[in-house]
Amino acid sequence: MRARDLLELVSLAALWGASFMFMRISVPDFGPLATIMLRVAIASALLLPWLALRGRMADLRLHAGPLAVVGLANSALPFALFAYAIVSLGAGLASVLNATAPLFGALIARAWLKERLGALRWMGLALGFVGVVLLARERITPADASNAIEGRALLAVCACLAAALCYGFAANYTRRALAGVDAAAVAAGSQCVATIALLPPAALTWPARIPSPGAWASVVALGALCTGLGYLLYFRLIRNVGPSRAISVTFLIPVFGVLFGTVLLDEPLSPSMLAGSLVVLLGTALATGLFRVPGKSHRSHGAG
């Protein structure tokens, strides 16, 4: 990998890691649905002109059905679930749970696309979910927590895992239904669909009080930088270094998510949380085929 590609990979991880921090700042003022609607609307406003300049607007009409599925499964629903969960869990832990998406992607690929998984990848799946349990126990059963706090934390963890499941499904569906379609069309079309889907519920839950300038700045950064620019960097990496290397961004996102959450938002980071995070990342790396046993070949890479 060239130095420029590595710099773009790290930059993308920083952007997507920062998205959890920006959601943590903006959601209390806007609410989950309004925050995410603004996020995808701003990204659409950036991606559509870029697609038009490339002369690929016709792709949106030709592949409207699959793009609608991807827009809902890869943006509208998981973004909203993370926005709901992040107030209870914090930016750092939510970013770690986001890293389980390739685990679900690998399981769905095995069940739906009949992709073969070797023993090492099955071990990775098991290890990854053990890490999730460790993280959930740390957050759900603190000594001073009330039943209500525990219940909200449990729902938040389930929301993050449901969002990761959506990502895993969307990755496999994209491989099956949108193979060969221009990546820019997939990015722009999915964000437009997500915007349309989220407009009615966002309007119904729009905050009665005017959000603070900090919340507005965070939601603009979330849409323009983390989503609009982030998608451009991601698809550029896929083109330049291939999907199997571009997917490694998944393992860097929690580094920045935890860093931003701890340093900028004063979120706690206990040794057990750090250990659980490392178990999740190691399991995901094994499950996606990033680590391989010398002398053994693996036909395919995990989805993510």
What whole-number percentage of the chain has pLDDT above 90?
42
Whether residue 297 lies inside any domain: the answer is no
Whether residue 173 lies inside any domain: the answer is yes
213 vs 216: CA distance, rounded Å: 5
Whole-model pTM: value is 0.84
165 has a pLDDT exceeding 90:
yes
Q: Residue 269: which domain range? A: 3-287
139 has a pLDDT exceeding 90:
no
Contacts of 195 (CB under 8 A, 6+ apart): 37, 40, 41, 44
Whether residue 95 lies inside any domain: the answer is yes
Q: Tell me, what's the pLDDT at 143?
A: 47
Q: Mean pLDDT check: name the lowest of 12-26, 37-51, 86-100, 202-216.
A: 86-100
Whether residue 302 lies inside any domain: the answer is no
Q: Tell me, what's the pLDDT at 291?
A: 65
Mean pLDDT for the stretch of residues 200-224: 96
245 vs 229: CA distance, rounded Å: 19
CB contact at 8 A, 299 and 116: yes
Whether residue 295 lies inside any domain: the answer is no
111 has a pLDDT exceeding 60:
yes
Whether residue 138 lies inside any domain: the answer is yes
Q: State the angle between helix axes of 77-89 and 3-30 in degrees (0 to 180), rounded to the nearest 10.
A: 70
213 has a pLDDT exceeding 50:
yes
Q: Tell me, what's the pLDDT at 34?
A: 97
Whether residue 301 lies inside any domain: the answer is no
Q: How confident is the model at residue 81 (pLDDT cuts 50, 70, 90)?
A: very high
Token pair for 296: 């053994």
Between 160 and 139, whose confidence is greater? 160
290 has a pLDDT exceeding 80:
no
> Which phi and psi angles does 234 have, rounded to 5°?
-65, -50
Whether residue 293 lies inside any domain: the answer is no
* Count of structural domains within the chain: 1
Task: Return mean pLDDT, the chain.
Answer: 84
301 has a pLDDT exceeding 50:
no
Q: If you count DSSP H runs as helices and E runs as strands, how many of each does the chain have, helices first?
A: 15, 0
